[in-house]
Amino acid sequence: MSARATAVAHSNIALIKYWGKADTRLALPATSSVSLTLDAYLTETTVEWGADQDSITLDGGRIGGVAADRVRRFLDLVRDLSGRRDGATVVSRNTVPTAAGLASSASGFAALAAASTAAAGLEPTPRELSILARKGSGSASRSVFGGLAVWYAGTDDASSYAEPLPDPGLDLAMVVAVVNAGTKEISSRDAMLLTAETSPYYRAWVDASRGDFDDMLAAVAAGDFTAIGELAESNAMRMHASMLGATPPISYWEPDSVRCLRRVRELRSAGVECYATMDAGPNVKILCRRPDLDVIRDAVGSLGVAGVTTSLPGPGVRVTRDAS
């Protein structure tokens, strides 16, 4: 039987953020989160078992160091689940700029989870796949699903998983202002740990985000775009505020990030309803509704930022090929 499979997963952008772990070993987050999977950015990964040792190729180049160790540790989990003892050849292609705060680890580990399990002959349920992907990267638990997804923080391995939320029927869309697609100075993993360990505002972040999460679920259930957008924007700002309080302070913002945030406020004043969110990078993601995509893209594009991408909600992870 073939021990090879290919999977495609899309990135997701959190509307209620995950920022801090309750349990590092189990990869349990301190708070629950909500995200929108995007069609614009994806990772395609092929895994073939049967090698002497693991090898990992990303965008045509062999990777080593910390990034490769992280993939190897993840493959160990799949070896434990499947009883395999051999190595895997992993070949991955990203349309997400890697490690630039555009959720490459989310699509990356969701695709790796699906391809590596399928190639090993396992047939995980979507929930099992979400739990497994979580252990590669927390946000990857949500990329298993398309559209809006909720990741319940949970209290143990089995209760910390993502699942899709019913479509609120709002024609959600996103404009991504790429301020800088270069690699970030500090990874989200390290930055959230430093925030949790040193920021006096971390506890306040956790408390506020729990409230934001409950409010977001209510807003999605009510199909209330204004409430969804306002919550997403303030939750992102609260997350960044918690980082500024770390020692040393963490800031991913660049001058163009601030210009984009201001442009979003101007658009709102002009009657174009849109809301900004930012992750562990300088890029600004703008939540809007589909009919407003072009006007927002043009308004942000005229600022002269490095790039502007528009995106609709994307699908969940899928195994595309099981070649022999």
Query: Which of residues 46 and 242 has its CB atom nearest to ligand DP6 in the complex?
Result: 242
Q: By CB under 6 A, tell whether 160 contacts ligand DP6.
A: no
Q: By CB under 6 A, tell whether 18 contacts ligand DP6.
A: yes
Name which of 276, 272, 318 is nearest 146 in CA terms.
Answer: 318
Q: How many residues bind ligand DP6 (CB under 6 A)?
A: 13
Report the amino acid identity of residue 206. Answer: V
Query: Which of residues 46 and 104 has its CB atom nearest to ligand DP6 in the complex?
Result: 104
Q: By CB under 6 A, tell whether 32 contacts ligand DP6.
A: no
Q: By CB under 6 A, tell whether 188 contacts ligand DP6.
A: yes
Helices 293-301, 255-269: crossing angle, 10 deg rounding: 140
Ranges within 112-151 binding ligand DP6 (CB under 6 A): 137-139
Among 3, 9, 14, 88, binds ligand DP6 (CB under 6 A): 14
Instruction: Tell me how far, at minimum, the Cβ of 85 lies from ligand DP6, in Å.
Output: 27
Q: By CB under 6 A, tell whether 97 contacts ligand DP6.
A: no
Q: Please, are residues 273 and 289 in contact by the beta-carbon 8 Å criterion?
A: yes
Report the amino acid identity of residue 8. Answer: V
Stretch of residues binding ligand DP6 (CB under 6 A), selected from 1-9, 13-21, 49-57, 195-203? 13-21
Query: Which of residues 45 and 105 has its CB atom nearest to ligand DP6 in the complex?
Result: 105
Name which of 129, 67, 75 is nearest 104 in CA terms.
Answer: 67
Region for 214 from its dihedrals, namely left if φ exceeds 0, alpha if ψ lies in -120 to 50, beta otherwise: alpha
Instruction: Tell me how far, at minimum, the Cβ of 212 lies from ligand DP6, in Å.
Output: 12
Name which of 126, 110, 94, 134 is nearest 37 in CA terms.
Answer: 110
For residue 36, give the 3-state DSSP assignment: strand
Ranges within 269-308 binding ligand DP6 (CB under 6 A): 279-280
Instruction: Tell me how far, at minimum, the Cβ of 8 lies from ligand DP6, in Å.
Output: 19
Stretch of residues binding ligand DP6 (CB under 6 A), selected from 17-25, 173-181, 218-226, 314-322? 17-25
Q: By CB under 6 A, tell whether 105 contacts ligand DP6.
A: yes
Q: Which residues contact 284 (CB under 8 A, 6 or more apart)?
A: 176, 177, 179, 257, 260, 261, 264, 276, 277, 278, 300
Q: Please, are residues 314 and 40 in contact by the beta-carbon 8 Å criterion?
A: yes
Among 4, 17, 240, 297, binds ligand DP6 (CB under 6 A): 17
Q: By CB under 6 A, tell whether 33 contacts ligand DP6.
A: yes
Q: Please, are residues 121 and 140 in contact by the beta-carbon 8 Å criterion?
A: no
Report the alpha-carbon distance of residue 289 to residue 31 in Å, rounded. 27
Report the amino acid identity of residue 287. Answer: L
Report the alpha-carbon distance of residue 170 to residue 220 in Å, rounded. 9
Query: Which of residues 188 and 257 has its CB atom nearest to ligand DP6 in the complex?
Result: 188
Name which of 96, 98, 71 is nearest 10 in CA terms.
Answer: 96
Instruction: Tell me how far, at minimum, the Cβ of 51 lies from ligand DP6, in Å.
Output: 25
Among 72, 127, 184, 189, binds ligand DP6 (CB under 6 A): 189
**Residues near ligand DP6, by CB under 6 A:** 14, 17-19, 33, 105, 137-139, 188-189, 279-280
